[in-house]
A and B are shown apart, each in its own frame.
Chain A
């Protein structure tokens, strides 16, 4: 039963995954209060420790922003699972856990007796979540993936960017994060079912399929007759950046008239080129040119607020700096300051959703092997000499 205020206080997760997608899944579980034990390779640790960005010029394995963000709220141990002793220790740990998250190439863990079939026999209630570029089956299952590859093969990229240029990816790691969200949602379905029906199961999550789900227009338009194409974004320059007026969809009837008054062009109120959302969509470039003379002298966030007051769906291109200055995000205390011994205090995005009344765990990522003594000594009861021996062998 629930031990304290966290939603998932009674859940324990063994996290063998690395990089972005798997760790983001277990980060969400940790945020909800599950005890997440992150298992890293002795010595080098998670690849995201080498990814950065780093605050200084030189990379440092405890200072990579990607690693620090992906692993908040987790405990960290090291273990070389590619060996008989390491695999045996992992099997001990598995028996203490409800969920295992992994991101190895399909078949890799089976070689060490750690595949789902073997662990299911050991622990039938285990939920075993595999997060990979292409999934556990099919002709591409052994192919390598990445953020870029997922956006490409999931049919997302082909329509992003400008018509006279090459296709463009979305910046950052959105496809891998979203794959982590898929893994989180699927794992929570499996956990719910286990609570009701008793059995765990193997959850197979693929980045390619996540993106194939996330692309909307490419496959719709292909099937229903309009070829989607790369196109200009409906953005217009503000004094300090870019805004979209948001007048093409989902606005109230009187919005356009109010905009015409605002920009000093009452003559356009009844202009059939602009007086319906469809017409504004049709004549988007002309519309942006007209609005542009007004927006160019005003700050983007101010324009966003003014147009939102008119019940439009206006937006402004917020940079990371703008996000940190957003009144809305501040009012909701979305950002969290988290201290870390190697980097000092940094600001992190907080809970991506909130269950009213339940807290979200905002604690820092573990140092490499930080919880070895607690988990191996305290939890598994290894004597100090045994720990020292495993350390000497490079197993932990």
Chain B
């Protein structure tokens, strides 16, 4: 039995929505024990409302909220697998006390509240590191832990604007568009894993914990590096250019057989251009002066696009990709959500995990963007029910007796149902 890469690491997860939960999902895959802390009064927003209104039913499997909607909300189960769930009222003195005890037996804490929320509650880095000086505290925030905007709130959809990504995304009419995918959230989730591992390695060497300050805005601006450098030298402010590319032609998406089906083509060299001409059965085009090199291909792009579209339209997007790639042309089918789940390449690489969730049914769980040859990820565990692991964490890890835990429940400090859900 191979040991998991991060076996033995225990992480308190105070994150919600997307960026933080992504990070702890990935860390969980690599073997860390993730203890997700929520409270009955304030669950992770991903769990939806305690009593959902019909407009939100579409966010539940089969459009049905079920008896305990908070345990089966789509955005909750999507990125909270591989975690334990406890509830703790962090506004209460006893809740805080237990939280501090919990962090004392953990290696790391990750949180993504507005910058000063935990400091205000008296359980920020200063307080926790006093009790556990080896604690690595990763603070993910919209704007960073300092500066005039440190308490600003945001979602991934906000950050792609304030970090500049929307300003270069759009068709060629210059109007900015958003990604519809809150792109900065998964990006920061992926980056946070490396930030945490770096701090944990440092702790192994120095014996000391650390405070890691990760601004989602800054991590997203880092994706625009060449534009920032260029602006500082030339004053050029880049605007959206659709699917085009400053050097490559053709570079864009072409319609395929079927409804709203497309293939992306990115020709970066003259070899690839000749490959494309072969692939579409038009070797004559390779000799055509109108298309001899990228700059002239750009001038004659309308004619080129018409020829290429006529070929792609007669083919299914996968078929077009395979033929083009067979001739050495970078091409990719634009996959839908359903297609990326069923894709044969990802299947051959075991990218998706089938999960049978006790309250949400079966679904395909997204896994990790990496593979370690000697430490495979562990199989997905379904996202936990609210407070599912209260007795393990408070009883086994913190040593509370069953009557003590029952008393906490009676006081509303821990529980398994959100406030306002009514009685079972």
Contacts and interface: CB of A to CB of B under 8 A. Distances in A.
Contacts of A318: 161-164, 167
A199 B5 CA distance: 11
B374 interface: yes
Contact of B198 (A167, A319, A347, A355): A355
A167 B163 contact: no
Given A244-B157, A329-B218, A217 B180 contact: yes
B234 A53 contact: yes
B340 A223 contact: no
A235 interface: yes
Contact of A156 (B165, B181, B251, B331): B181
Contacts of B74: 220-221, 223-224
B210 interface: yes
Given A148-B245, A154-B340, A223-B363, A171 B170 contact: yes
Q: Chain A: interface residue count, which band? A: 35 or more
B345 A139 contact: yes
A318 B176 CA distance: 10
Interface string B182-223: 110111001111110111111011100011111101110111
Contacts of A187: 194
Contact of B369 (A145, A213, A234): A213
Contacts of B201: 7-8, 188, 191-192, 195
A199 B374 contact: yes
Contacts of A89: none
B210 A357 contact: yes
A150 to B, nearest CB: 7
A209 B372 contact: no
B151 to A, nearest CB: 8
Nearest to B245: A148
B241 interface: yes
B364 A219 contact: yes
A130 to B, nearest CB: 10
Interface stretch (B35-43, B56-64, B281-289, B394-402): B56-64
Interface string A349-365: 11111111110000000
A222 B366 CA distance: 13
A126 to B, nearest CB: 12
Given A55-B234, A178-B190, A168 B177 contact: yes
A242 interface: yes
Contact of A225 (B63, B177, B191): B63
B369 A205 contact: yes
B168 interface: yes
Contacts of A152: 253, 262-264, 332-335
Given A224-B61, A320-B227, A215 B340 contact: yes
Nearest to B229: A65
Contacts of A65: 225-227, 229-230, 233
A344 B232 CA distance: 11
Interface in B256-287: 260, 262-264, 266, 268, 272
B420 interface: no
Contacts of A146: 248, 266, 268, 330
A389 to B, nearest CB: 32
Contacts of B22: 213
Contacts of B260: 158
A168 B242 contact: yes
Interface in A167-218: 167-174, 177-179, 181-193, 195-197, 199, 201-206, 208-210, 212-218
Interface in A249-283: 249-250, 278, 282
A68 B202 CA distance: 28
A1 interface: yes
Contacts of B148: 327-328, 331
Contact of B332 (A148, A178, A320): A148
A183 B191 CA distance: 9
Contacts of B243: 148, 166, 168-169
Contacts of A233: 166, 176-178, 180
B408 interface: no
A82 B346 CA distance: 31
A138 interface: yes
Given A144-B328, A149-B332, A223-B364, A353 B195 contact: yes
B202 A355 contact: yes
B164 A320 contact: yes
Contacts of A188: 193-194, 197-198, 201
Contacts of A53: 226-227, 230, 234, 236, 246
Interface stretch (A289-297, A304-312, A367-375, A380-388): A304-312
B152 A308 contact: yes
A162 B240 CA distance: 14
B158 A55 contact: no
Contact of A203 (B150, B180, B373): B373
Nearest to A143: B325
Contact of A317 (B59, B60, B167, B213): B167
B345 A138 contact: yes
Contacts of B202: 2, 7, 355, 358
B373 A349 contact: no
A157 B253 contact: yes
A353 B200 contact: no
A165 interface: yes
B179 A355 contact: no
B213 to A, nearest CB: 5
Name, among A150, A224, A318, the residue most crowded by chain B CB atoms within 10 Å (CB to CB): A224
A220 B158 contact: no
B378 interface: no
B180 A313 contact: no
5 contacts: A185-B26, A203-B372, A204-B373, A353-B214, A354-B212
- Which are the 5 A-B pairs with shortest beta-carbon distances? A171-B168, A222-B337, A218-B337, A185-B194, A186-B370
Given A171-B170, A172-B165, A196-B204, 6 more contacts: A138-B345, A148-B252, A177-B187, A179-B369, A219-B366, A323-B224
